[in-house]
Structure 1
Amino acid sequence: MVESLQFNLGVIREATENFSDAMKLGQGGFGSVYFGKLPNGQEIAVKRLSRNSGEERLLVYEFVPNSSLDQFIFDPLKRARLDWDTRYKIITGIARGIMYLHEDSRLRIIHRDLKASNILLDAGMNPKVSDFGMARLFEFDQTQADTNRIVGTYGYMAPEYVLHGHFSVKSDVFSFGVLVLEIVSGRKNLDSHGHYGEDPEILISHVWRSWREGNIRNIVDPSVTSTNYSANILRCIHIGLLCVQESVASRPTMASVVVMLNSHTVTLPVPTQPAFSMSMGNASDLSTSIDGTSTTSHSDYSGNRTGSGRRTYSVNEVSITRPYPR
């Protein structure tokens, strides 16, 4: 087994200029994150965990300069830099990353908070799945689990998880499907507070309706300029809809998704009605918080050194009481 690489505290202090504010990348729920440069020139991000006990606890990560995916696809200027080839590379990279967690790591890992702000982008725009604060480890003969503590982010949580506390690899598949549709469309499924944003129609419902009507142009981000949409774009929309199906059993595994993305000889099944195809209102109208608390989830080892953290909100202990398919 490969041992974890450990650093001397003095080396980290020197790399981060003694954790100076000038080197601070952001503030997360579990501590601050600092930019650093090692003596060999390697750039790192250092998470300095909150010191409740007085002991210094640090995590050292690879520094990724392009921040997180949400900073690109939801920004009207930056998303124009994401041509289709780049978006397709990001989709396939995320798929391979999640497949590794589900199939190839020593223990099966259910992420439980896959979203655009938790996908980091390196200098080559390669995606990195991040923020495992809500992840659960499974034995390989374990397929699902239940919880009374629902944690995650509005718009990305699978219905069986929100309604009943059931989570499995298929819960992550649902979240991946939402990510795919967001990357293709450049639109948020829901905003960080559970609202639908400018459009009163939830993205999943919008994509489902447009796809059924054959109006693909109505789905694809206008920044993706193409007179004839490529087979890859159509295929990604199709795969996204397969992943957000209400039926858990009907959703593909991530291993199947990777095959679908990389082989056009594989015939895709026809997707069924997506979950949560709601047309009006917002998710906060459909929720009842048990204790009214929320947690912050932050892609905190990426981006530029701004001196202040970007904050997104994750729902903690929430039960959705009145969702309905359209």
Structure 2
Amino acid sequence: MKTETRRASLPKVNGNKQIEAAKDPSVPNNNNMAATFTYQELAAATCDFAPECLLGRGGFGAVYKGTLESTGQVVAVKQLDQSGIQGDKEFLVEVLMLSLMHHPNLVNLIGFCAEGEQRLLVYEYMPFGSLEDRLFDLPPDETPLDWNTRLKIALGAAKGLESLHKSNPPVIYRDLKASNILLDESFEPKLSDFGLAKFGPIGDKSHVSTRVMGTYGYCAPEYASTGRLTIKTDIYSYGIVLLELITGRRALEEVNGRSKHLVYWAMPLMKDQSNFSKLVDPLLKGNYSMSTLKKVIEVAGLCLHEDVTMRPVSSDLVAAMQFFVSRKREKNSDKDTSFKWSEIGMSPNQTSVISDKDSDRDRAVAEAKMWGESWRDKRMQSPQHVSEGNDRYQN
């Protein structure tokens, strides 16, 4: 059976120039536009969506492993629930987003099917599954992710987020979580599942007002309570993912029939560096750099700050994580892993001077010398007041 590779017909959305440019043959990425497949082709690729091909299920539908008959390429096929959350609008958004945006840390959309009532997306296959698969509830014979690999994943996720936030117009992911971070055979992460993504504010607008969507446990409290969406909403979710990488715990766990939020458990421990070791995943067995751990926890705290202006931007996260990944430290080393933003490119968005009224002013000044102009004042703004927000989330 021959695979059809017709060019996707992209509608004009609010006159968006990016979408118009995608149809322009002069645009370099134009040849990477998603192909269209028939339902019959994708049914054949997945052995008629056989249970043994099932990779997993999510809120939007099921994902199957398949092999395209024409090329032999192994792919992941997401079959959307016809009665699920993701409707035609979300389907179109995902096709458009991934057709227009190409980055090593964003999953590659190969094609799609929109035949009758069927809505399917065809992605590159990621052999190591998701971060969720590799971090939580591991069988006894599976080796847990080591510290350096966790930092690598955090860096790649930050790079993927940066590519979205720096696009024109900016794209707000809105669903950053462990199950949406896919891993290739070298544990390089790629962000996936863009059905909830939205174009961010442009011009003098500070936010986009929208119906609250996202995943319980990852959603920023100010967004959950007001519906005001900004790129800093994604930064909060990134902070939760960082906590998951550090602790090996899920953002939300059911214990004795009750939901336990990772952030509420972690925040009291994050107030005091003497408690930092209590945050660490026991599966690491002490194989990590304590000095780097302290800095990563501080970064997570900034991401989770209740004041959205105090949260770093994605380019700062990339700079910080790149620095930590590049440092080859012995385990539990107490050597300083400080860096200056000026040495690796300080974000122009992080230049505001924050007035610090904390009683530990002297300590703030000392720490400022280590972290550089941007985060000097920010890191002293305690993350302990992260508000619990509102429970109006949707899975």
2:271 to 212, 227, 245: 212
Q: CA deviation at 1:58?
A: 3.0
Q: Residue deviations 1:188-218, cap 9 Å, x none?
A: 2323799444xxxx43344333233222211
Aligned counterpart, 1:265: 339
Residue aligning to 2:64: 34
Q: Structure 1 residue 227: deviation in Å?
A: 6.5
**Contact 2:269–2:276 (Cα < 8 Å) also in 1:** yes
Q: Measured at CA, do residues 166 and 8 of structure 1 come closer, stay the same or move farther in structure 2, by a change above 3 Å?
A: closer
Cα 1:190–1:32 change in 2 (3 A) is: closer
Alignment of structure 1 residues 91-102 onto 2, 5 Å? 91-102=154-165
Q: Distance in 1 between matches of 2:80 and 2:231?
A: 29
Partner of 1:151 in structure 2?
213
Secondary structure of the equivalent of 2:298?
helix
* Conservation of the 8 A alpha-carbon contact between 2:151 and 2:321: no
Residue 100 to residue 271, structure 1, CA distance change in 2 (3 Å): farther
Quick check: 161-170 or 30-39, which moved more? Answer: 30-39
- Matched with 2:383 is 274
Please state how far the C-alpha of 1:124 moved relative to its aligned partner. 1.8
Unmatched 5+ stretches in structure 1: 290-313, 317-326
1:288 deviation in Å? 6.5
Aligned residue for 2:296? 236
Code of the aligned partner of 2:305: Q
Q: Distance in 2 between matches of 1:138 and 1:228?
A: 37
Structure-to-structure mapping, 1:117-156, within 5 angstroms: 117-138=179-200, 140-141=202-203, 142-147=205-210, 149-156=211-218
Asked whether the 8 Å contact 1:187–1:203 carries over to 2, the reply is yes
Q: Which has the higher strand share?
A: 1
**TM-score, length basis structure 2:** 0.63
String of CA shifts for 1:78-124, please: whole Å, max 9, x gaps.
78520001101111111111111101x34311111211122122222
CA 1:221 to 1:251, structure 2 compared with 1: closer, same or farther past 3 Å?
same
2:230 is aligned with 1:168 = yes
More helix by share: 2
The residue that corresponds to 1:222 in the other structure is 282
Give the equivalent residue in structure 1 for 2:151: 88
Give the fraction of aligned pairs with identical amino acids, expressed as a percent.
Answer: 36
- The question of whether the paired residues in 1 share the 8 Å contact of 2:136 and 2:249 is answered with yes
Choose the corresponding residue for 1:61, options 116, 119, 123. 123
Distance 2:170 2:246 in 1: 28
**In the alignment, which of 31, 35, 40 is matched to residue 6 of structure 1?**
35
RMSD of aligned residue pairs (Cα, Å): 3.0
Give the Cα–Cα distance (whole angstroms) in 2 for the partners of residues 158 and 275 of structure 1: 15
1:66–1:123: 8 Å Cα contact kept in structure 2? yes
Alignment of 1:18-33 (within 5 A): 18-33=48-63
TM-score (norm 1): 0.74
Alignment partners' CA distance in 2, 1:144 and 1:89: 31
Unaligned runs of 5+ in 2: 1-26, 84-114, 324-337, 341-370
- Tell me by how many angstroms 1:163 deviates: 1.6
8 A contact 1:245–1:271 mirrored in 2: no
Secondary structure of the structure 1 residue equivalent to 2:310: coil
Number of residues paired by the alignment? 280
